[in-house]
Amino acid sequence: MANSKDNELAAEQSVLDAWAQWVEGELVSRRESADRAYKRALQIGDEPAWQHAEIVERSYAQLEEMKSRQDPYFARIQGRMKDVDGVPFEVDLRVHRYHRSEAFPLVTGGEMLDISHLAPLADLVRNPAQKELTLTLRDREFLDLMERGGTNPRIEVVDCTVEDIELEDGRVVRMAPRYGAIFEDRVRKRLGQAATPALDILADVLDQEQNAIIADRDPKMQLLILDGPAGTGKTVVAAHRIAVAADPQSPGLYLTPTTTVRDYVRPVLPRLGLERGRANAWSLADLAAMMWPDFPWDENLLGIVPESPWNQKDWTKALDAAKQRLGNASPERLYREAAGRLGAAASTTFGLRDVAPLLWLGAWSKRPRPTPEPDWIIIDEAQAIPILAYEALREWLGPGVSWILAGDLMQQGTHHDWDGWTLIQEALGISSRRLAHLWLSRSYRVPPKIHAAAERLRLVLNPHAKPSESVPWHLHAGSVTVSSTEDMANMPELVKTRLQAARDAGIVSIALLAPSDQRLGDWEGTMRRWNQEVQVLRGTRAYGGGVVLATLDMVRGLEFDAVLILDVTDAYYPNTSAAARTLYTSMTRARRIVDFLTVSSAARPSSWLSVIVPDMSTP
């Protein structure tokens, strides 16, 4: 048995060695090709030439990253299949976590296919028990089968072995059945890494529950709701699902409530095959500004777009009346007239409060749709999008769009109540027959102790909530502490002490969360007086790592290794569900440490602390 295992590892080592030998020369060749393509684009200057140069450059960049990370593949698929004519053929290939499939020569002759996790053939990595596959243009290596079988030929899986492969420093260390010991160790290692300021490709560590959602290509499904508490991978699953299940040429939108969430997901989209020509990430305010580029917008459209006090029927009635009175007046004048009829205060420029109504104005006036028109839309942090905006998007984009909504009603703040998903479904006008509402229960980002504290708060607010759990592979159990000082005058010194304690623990990615914009300004002045190097995150630029000072709205969807929640008193976090949800969302940004900073004087700690930390432990 040992010899058999040794022989298997030796055979796989020869495959890895062949890749290592091939990649050196291939990188030189691709660099030369990329340079030639760039020079040609400079000479010609047309869009196709620049697109070609970008494609060639990405091909080089992918291979360079594979080499630097030493992860040319993470899994093996070996087995027998039957083509569309029932003719059997054998498959032995590798699967990597990048965008483009590769093929490299073997020392023994022939070549090894190293396919992308995005390819339909990689469905076997997502579900090793799958018995039928449908090829697409992504599976160019099987073009002869496609030519015989039509546009999307179906392949029968007769028998198949799928294994995870552990590579380390150019060596094949282990091979094990998919989702076994190697997978668990891989997840454990990933969870032990520091938080990053941008979303990453996680194809090698997505579990069976997540992969089943990603690979579901049910054509009847028009609305997919990915529901679940913080840290369950909703954002990752939504992005990977579109990359895997949607037609490779289909255009779409990735919509977020804030610029910071937009900047968090935007870098990963090209690496999932969602190039800018096909898809891009937009904040809701971006979309409104794109719809009405000539309107006088505020300089910075930052933060969460609020729900309008008036629904689409109110706005439609007011706009119809404005149209009747003003005739062919400009859209801006019609909007101002309608807003005045509803009692909205006039302002010189348009800000966040105008975003949802102006999206409805675009739908009402049949504003031209984006080009190309989207086939699908992902909405991340979907609970933070106003109902009026959903109604506007449905009316503007038409009935043929498919939707993926990723969100957590516990994090909704002041938007919708617990029936929020029903309200959103009705706003989009999609029947329950074309809806899949899935609950993701396993939290990866949030370690056990932080998860348990957050769950206590979640279940107090919603005793009928579905259960969730923290996965068992965290290297750190996490910590939740309450740090107290006598009064607010001493709070700055406490913050300084606790910030230094986090740094002394080796933590680099740290969020200091202020309860309001006013307090954010106060804390910014304090940090400046201390000469503390912190990034004050207001949405004007992306989070760059390190220590950040922000309000919750600016870090929704992001993650940090430590979160210090400032000013946790009854004044800023009163006994309301909105305050509790803010605390819940804030603490679930943390991967290792949560520290509530409060006072013991007449200002009083927030009453929610006794729910989160029943024993009120202090460091």
Note the helical H segments in 398-542. 420-428, 448-461, 491-504, 517-530
Residue 139 has pLDDT above 80, yes or no: no
Question: What H or E segment, with its residue span, contains residue 405?
Answer: strand 402-407
Tokens of 391: 């109604």
Summarised one tens digit per residue, pLDDT across range 299-345 is 888 889 999 999 999 999 999 999 999 999 999 999 999 999 999 98
> Helices 2-44 and 47-69: crossing angle, nearest 10°?
150
* Residue 292 to residue 340: CA distance in whole angstroms: 19
Which residue type, as a one-letter code, is found at position 219? Answer: P
Domains of the chain are 2-69 (no CATH), 75-192 (no CATH), 216-440 (3.40.50.300), 448-612 (3.40.50.300)
State the maximum Cα–Cα separation within the chain, in Å, rounded to a whole number: 88
Cα 553 to the chain's mean position, in Å? 16
pLDDT band at 547 (very low <50, low <70, confident <90, very high): very high
Residue 149 has pLDDT above 60, yes or no: no
Summarised one tens digit per residue, pLDDT across range 371-419 is 889 999 999 999 999 999 999 999 999 999 999 999 998 886 545 566 7
Residue 550's DSSP bridge partners are 513
Summarised one tens digit per residue, pLDDT across range 263-306 is 999 888 888 878 666 788 999 999 999 999 999 999 888 889 99
User: Is residue 88 a contact partner of residue 158, using CB atoms and an 8 Å limit?
Assistant: yes
| Stretch 450-465: mean pLDDT | 93
Note the helical H segments in 1-77. 2-44, 47-69
Summarised one tens digit per residue, pLDDT across range 8-30 is 999 999 999 999 999 999 999 99
Residue 401 is predicted with a pLDDT of: 94
Phi, psi of 231 (to 5 degrees): 85, 10
* 60-74, 271-285, 535-549: range with highest mean pLDDT: 60-74
Mean pLDDT of the chain: 91
Tokens of 141: 């290596």
Residue 277 is predicted with a pLDDT of: 63
Give ∠ CA 302-592-444 in degrees, rounded to 5: 80
Tokens of 544: 């760059």
Tokens of 310: 């008036």
| Stretch 417-437: mean pLDDT | 89
Indicate the range of 79-93, 347-361, 546-560, 569-583 predicted with least confidence: 79-93
DSSP state of 174: E
User: Is residue 590 a contact partner of residue 443, using CB atoms and an 8 Å limit?
Assistant: no
Question: What H or E segment, with its residue span, contains residue 437?
Answer: strand 435-439
Summarised one tens digit per residue, pLDDT across range 188-247 is 999 999 888 888 888 999 999 999 999 888 877 899 999 999 899 999 999 999 888 888
* Residue 164 to residue 83: CA distance in whole angstroms: 26
- What Rg, from alpha-carbon coordinates, does the chain have? 26
Phi, psi of 49 (to 5 degrees): -65, -40
pLDDT band at 473 (very low <50, low <70, confident <90, very high): very high
The SS3 assignment for 332 reads helix
Which residue type, as a one-letter code, is found at position 387? Answer: I
pTM above 0.95, yes or no: no
Nearest of 544, 613, 561 to residue 583 by alpha carbon: 613
* Residue 584 to residue 461: CA distance in whole angstroms: 11
* Residue 618 to residue 494: CA distance in whole angstroms: 12
Residue 182 has pLDDT above 90, yes or no: yes
pLDDT band at 83 (very low <50, low <70, confident <90, very high): confident
| Stretch 338-362: mean pLDDT | 94
* Residue 200 to residue 203: CA distance in whole angstroms: 9
Residue 258 has pLDDT above 80, yes or no: yes
| Stretch 112-127: mean pLDDT | 92
pLDDT band at 151 (very low <50, low <70, confident <90, very high): low
* Residue 217 to residue 436: CA distance in whole angstroms: 12
Question: What H or E segment, with its residue span, contains residue 254?
Answer: strand 252-256
Summarised one tens digit per residue, pLDDT across range 406-415 is 999 888 654 5
Indicate the range of 141-145, 163-167, 338-342, 410-414 predicted with least confidence: 141-145
Of all residues in the chain, the percent with pLDDT exceeding 70 is 95
Residue 414 is predicted with a pLDDT of: 46
Residue 141 is predicted with a pLDDT of: 57
Task: Between 593 and 151, name the one with better pLDDT.
Answer: 593
> How long a stretch of residues is the chain?
619
CB contact burial 469-493 (16+ within 10 A = b; e otherwise): ebbebbeeebbbbbbbbeeeeebbe
* Residue 458 to residue 471: CA distance in whole angstroms: 18
* Residue 330 to residue 379: CA distance in whole angstroms: 31
